[in-house]
Structure 1
Amino acid sequence: MVEASSRCASARLAARLIIINMASYKETLDYLYAQLPMFTRVGASAFKTDLHNTLALLEQLQQPQHTFKTIHVAGTNGKGSTSHMLAAIFQQAGYKTGLYTSPHLLDFRERIRINGAMVPEEFVVRFTEDMHTHITDIAPSFFELTVAMAFQYFKQEAVDIAIIEVGLGGRLDSTNVITPELSLITNISYDHKNMLGDTLPEIAAEKAGIIKQGVPVVISETQPEVQEVFINTAQSKQAPIHFADQEWMESSSAIEGHHLNLMLMDRQQQQMRKFQLDLNGQYQEKNVMGVLSAVKLLQQQGWHITWEHVGTALSHVKKLTGLRGRWDVIQQHPLTVLDVGHNEAGINEIVEQLGHVNYQQLHIVVGFVKDKEVEKVLPLFPGTAHYYFCKAQIPRALDEVALAEMGAAAGLQGHAYPSAQAALQAARQHAKPDDMILVCGSFFVVAEVM
């Protein structure tokens, strides 16, 4: 027993010395990646089935999550875009706005922003140094520690409000320790079935776990299979519930250049409102309705947000918040688009969006992680495209040769490439100026080609 205790003390001391001697932001991240299980890299083994570690970390930080107001956003698809739109609106209205999202594309600090600016490297290093003993004792996951870091930063900087995006699920997600001004759930689709459930109602019940006692909840999209789950949960919590697509009706929508123009009718007020989004995916229409219903509730709560604020913010979401990877056009000839869509519903939206684009030949760079139901997703892709199957440089990535074989079985023709960069280079060599290149399937594939 004494020997085991001594080994434990030595390990703690070694970890402490490693942290104290850190010289840079990069070394801090290397430490965090090496020491803490990270879901986006290793998958389900990093997912914790309770909030114990998060609560323990926040206890050491004297409960920073209760020192600022929040909005909580969950859903299978669209929660990232929705969170960024809400953040842009609050920023445009003059509020000091925190934004917590995941995963990141290029820099860890993308996860934690205030008014669009990423958390400083110095804060990440200092927070890790200050928490090193608790990191050793509590052994949190990467995500659990990141949530605590974000809440501490928002407390330190005294934000007026923070938009908090759920990482996975809702009920057991590390972010589910807040009592927000309102909750927002975008939609429900099959994803992470091994952790959230095999049916849409089971998955919806996990997402509905963010609904709090007496706190209004907005559901962006009415889905008959799960509608009762949300209604029953909201009633049990005495939480007013609003289905956004029942409150707003599309009058017209069109993509012009890099913008999505929407004309929506407020059914209650019988008033038309026109918006131009710099997020030009047609699928953003559903997310916008959820955001607009949220805005109306926030106005009723006393937040000074005008429709002029909303219109200006929605036309500058990328500039205000730094959002990337959502139908992200990075080149015109050939048209090259990046989209982080990666599950059944996300790919369906991408394929529908392709129907609004003119091109000669379609080239698709695609890679997936191992725990996605790839066999169900691949048949959704157009059979006339040429495919560049690739593997992101993370342990969780699906082998590119295996993916190519699965693609062939689904009628998709192409070749395998060891990296996303190699796949994109090959696509560019084959594509003509009037062709289109689409990169999708995984955050990590998109990140590597950026």
Structure 2
Amino acid sequence: MIPKLDEYKKRWQLLSDDVIKPGLTRMLQALEQLGQPQQSLQVIHFAGTNGKGSTLTFVEHIARAHGLTVGKFMSPCIVDVHDQIQINGQPISQAQMDGVFKQMAAAGLQSLLTDFELLTCAALQHFHNEQVDLVLLEVGMGGREDSTNVVTPIVSVIPSIALEHTNFLGTTLTQIAAHKAGIIKYNKPVVIGRLPNEAYEVVKAEAKLQNAPFFVLGEDFEVEETTYRSRASQLEISNLQRRLLGTHQGENMAIAITAFLEAATELSIAVDVTAITQGVYSAQVPGRFEQVLPHVYFDGAHNPASIAALVQTIQQQFPNGRVEIVMGMLADKDVAQAIQLLETIASKFIFVDFDNPRAMRAEKMLEIQEGTVMTLQEVVAYLKQNTAIKIVTGSLYLLSELRNL
């Protein structure tokens, strides 16, 4: 369920299914009825298990520092449907969303799409209406059969690949990588992070098949503390300061800089090192080791790979202390391994129920790890007690509910 989407669906009598249906047939039909708004857009497309949202945000701020008007489409929402579609950091307004839904209703999209497909169409139409310079498009799930994979991007980006959505994407890294690699397009560059070998080979083979220039972290470009180096462009940028913390965010930054350099070539934009430095520093992401109170941090880590990165960041930021973990997760995630990783730094676990049909019950999590169960209201009061460093993690849906409270 996407908060407030139903209000627009009801107002404009646009029915859509609240289910996941992989495949592009419905999207292609809908976009044809809309007049192909995606064909006017210059797009960077992001897929991957972890890091795509942070990498996208680095690119966004670097591009805006170069004076570009930047549209972005991300999921899930932070507060409601409006913040999934943004231009220069400003969520789509109610009037703009109504305008887009009026266009979609006039195009006859009733009962054709899923909720996420409908929202993807709305984003592409909005960016077309506003004639943005650059669109940053984040895959909802997978890549090859995701509703966003109806564009021909100027650059494709895959920061990481790990096991996820195994009921849809497959149970091996090779199968999942085949989905992610589906965003690679003919003759268009692709930038990747440090992938497991079996995933790397799949992505590399797809890039070769598509004759796509291939840029790999650790081979074609690298980051060392605050310095970025690219062998491809012979560029070195030093003293890069960022507010997105953790070693993994340094790697996301390097991937983003490389992706922007490739996009700048495609768009014939003069690269400004000062603008890159400014963009890197200004990049911030809600729910990515986000300090919401002096002693409280939100982090939307929701699978073992992102939880491991969170643990590393906690160890770097609080080397002498243990922290209290407030946690809620979706039941289709590897909850047991996530908890096991957090045990290394946690002095206490608090498990919480949140409003999502896929959420694991807090009482069920007690079977995996000793802890305390709290309601959302109790958690809010608890977080306000300045008694220890508290990390809220496990699901972006949980973070969204707590933020609203």
TM-score normalised to structure 1 length: 0.82
**1:247/1:293 contact within 8 Å kept:** no
Q: How far apart are residue 427 of structure 1 and its match? A: 4.8
Paired position in structure 2 for 1:379: 340
Question: Is residue 357 of structure 1 aligned with residue 330 of structure 2?
Answer: no
**1:365/1:424 contact within 8 Å kept:** no
Quick one: distance in 1 between partners of 2:228 and 2:134?
27
Q: How far apart are residue 415 of structure 1 and its match? A: 1.1
**Paired amino acid for 2:328:** G
**Paired amino acid for 1:426:** Y
- Structure 2 SS opposite 1:76: coil
Query: Gaps (5+ residues) in structure 1?
Result: 1-23, 39-45, 253-261
**1:25/1:124 contact within 8 Å kept:** no
**2:156/2:189 contact within 8 Å kept:** yes
Q: How far apart are residue 206 of structure 1 and its match? A: 0.5
Q: How far apart are residue 416 of structure 1 and its match? A: 1.4
**2:215/2:221 contact within 8 Å kept:** no
Quick one: distance in 2 between partners of 1:104 and 1:267?
37
**2:301/2:395 contact within 8 Å kept:** yes
**2:49/2:160 contact within 8 Å kept:** yes
Q: How far apart are residue 376 of structure 1 and its match? A: 2.7
Q: How far apart are residue 31 of structure 1 and its match? A: 6.7
Q: What is the root-mean-square deviation of aligned Cα atoms in Å?
A: 2.3
Question: Is residue 105 of structure 1 aligned with residue 78 of structure 2?
Answer: yes
Q: How far apart are residue 304 of structure 1 and its match? A: 2.5
Higher relative contact order (CA 8 A, sep 6+): 2
- Structure 2 SS opposite 1:122: helix
Q: Deviations over 1:228-266 (max 9, x none)?
A: 1111111111111110232333433xxxxxxxxx22333
**Paired amino acid for 1:395:** P
Q: How far apart are residue 119 of structure 1 and its match? A: 0.9
> How many pairs align?
395
Paired position in structure 2 for 1:21: none
Paired position in structure 2 for 1:415: 372
Q: How far apart are residue 195 of structure 1 and its match? A: 0.7
**Paired amino acid for 1:36:** S
Quick one: distance in 2 between partners of 1:33 and 1:129?
10
Question: Is residue 439 of structure 1 aligned with residue 400 of structure 2?
Answer: no
Q: Deviations over 1:62-98 (max 9, x none)?
A: 0000012111111100111111111111111111111
Quick one: distance in 1 between partners of 2:332 and 2:195?
27
Q: How far apart are residue 385 of structure 1 and its match? A: 2.1
Task: Identify which of 351, 358, 364 aligns with 1:389.
Answer: 351
- Give the fraction of aligned pairs with identical amino acids, expressed as a percent: 30
Kindly report which structure 2 residues correspond to 1:61-72, keeping only aligned pairs within 5 A, or say none.
Answer: 61-72=34-45
Q: Deviations over 1:372-395 (max 9, x none)?
A: 121232211125421110111122
Q: 1:37 to 1:423 in 2, by over 3 A?
A: farther
Paired position in structure 1 for 2:381: 425
Question: Is residue 74 of structure 1 aligned with residue 37 of structure 2?
Answer: no
- Structure 2 SS opposite 1:242: strand
Kindly report which structure 2 residues correspond to 1:35-434, keeping only aligned pairs within 5 A, or say none.
Answer: 36-38=16-18, 46-132=19-105, 134-138=108-112, 140-252=113-225, 262-267=226-231, 269=234, 271-301=236-266, 302-318=268-284, 323-332=285-294, 335-358=295-318, 360-382=321-343, 384-406=346-368, 408=369, 413-419=370-376, 421-429=377-385, 432=387
Quick one: distance in 2 between partners of 1:36 and 1:156?
23
Quick one: distance in 2 between partners of 1:399 and 1:31?
34
- Structure 1 SS opposite 2:179: helix
